[in-house]
A and B are shown apart, each in its own frame.
Chain A
Amino acid sequence: MDAPATYLSWNFILISVPNVLMILGMIAVFVVALIAPFPSHSEAVEPEDSNDA
Chain B
Amino acid sequence: MREVSPAQQAEPSSWTLSLRRLIQRTLPLTHLLPDRQPVFVGSWVYIFGVVSIAGLIWVVASGVVLALFGPQWWHQSGVGRFVNSLHLWSVQVFFVFMVLHLWGQYFMAGWRDGRAKTWMVGVVIFAFSIVTAFTGFISQQNFDGQWIAVNAKDATNAAGIGSFFNVLNFGQMYGLHIVLLPMLVGTLVGVHVLLVRIKGVVRPIEKKQPAQPAGEKSAS
Contact = CB atoms under 8 A, between A and B. Distances in A.
When A and B assemble into the complex, do they touch directly, with CB atoms less than 8 Å apart? yes
Interface of A: 22, 25-26, 29-30, 32-34, 36, 38, 40-41, 44-45, 47-50, 52-53
Residues of B contacting A: mostly:
helix
B121 interface: no
A33 B43 contact: yes
Contact of A29 (B31, B39, B100): B100
Given A26-B99, A30-B104, A47-B36, A53 B28 contact: yes
Contact of B45 (A34, A41, A48, A52): A34
Contacts of A40: 42
Contacts of A44: 39
A38 B42 contact: yes
Contact of A45 (B36, B42, B47, B100): B36
Contacts, number: 47
Interface string B4-42: 000000000000000000001000111100111001001
Given A26-B96, A36-B44, A38-B42, A50 B104 contact: no
A5 B99 CA distance: 24
A22 B96 CA distance: 8
A49 B42 contact: no
Contacts of B42: 38, 40-41
Contact of A30 (B29, B36, B100): B100
Interface residues of B, number: 22
B103 interface: yes
Contact of B30 (A26, A29, A38, A53): A53
Interface of B: 1, 24, 28-31, 34-36, 39, 42-45, 47-48, 92, 96, 99-100, 103-104
Given A33-B48, A36-B44, A38-B43, A50 B30 contact: yes
A52 B42 CA distance: 25
Given A33-B45, A50-B31, 17 more contacts: A22-B92, A26-B100, A30-B104, A32-B44, A33-B44, A34-B45, A36-B44, A38-B42, A38-B43, A40-B42, A41-B39, A44-B39, A48-B30, A48-B35, A50-B1, A50-B30, A53-B28
Contacts of A50: 1, 24, 28, 30-31
Contacts of B104: 30, 33
Which 3 residue pairs of A and B lie closest in terms of their CB atoms, listed nearest first? A53-B29, A33-B44, A50-B28
A38 B41 CA distance: 9
